[in-house]
Amino acid sequence: MELWTSIPGYEGFYEVSNFGNIRSLTRFVEYGRHKGMTYKGRDLKQFVSGKYLSVKLAKAGVTKTAYVHELVLLAFEGPRPKIASRSEIRHLDGDSTNNALSNLKYGTVKENAADRKLHAQGLTAVK
């Protein structure tokens, strides 16, 4: 079952699902001398940036490009843990476009490197 939750920092604007989908919410935006405009919610188009899927998020006239895998883990697991070495997001099956929550996990650089060795052998990392 697909579950949706707000993207931290974009509450009332965007939501992310545990399947890695992103949608905007219907909202009224006031601007200028006009009363404003109602924006109808829709599924956001994802595009490849580097080797990862990304989306563009906008709020208060500022547009930001964000990686989908980062948004999924941020919304469902919270911010990246602060550990001694830099933390990374692991794609457990090695597919950088599979952004389902079940395929993502925070980990260390060392764990991510070990995952890449497994993926080269055609194996999936253990969650």
pTM for the full model?
A: 0.89
Q: What is the CATH number of the domain that holds 37?
A: 3.90.75.20
- pLDDT value at residue 95: 94
- 125: in domain: no
- pLDDT value at residue 69: 98
- 26: in domain: yes
Q: Write out pLDDT tens, residues 99-112.
A: 999 999 999 989 88
Q: Write out pLDDT tens, residues 53-95.
A: 999 999 988 999 999 999 999 999 999 888 766 889 999 999 9
What domain range includes position 55? 4-120
- 48: in domain: yes
- 91: in domain: yes
- 92: in domain: yes
Q: Which residues contact 106 (CB under 8 A, 6 or more apart)?
A: 73, 77, 80, 81, 87, 88, 89, 90
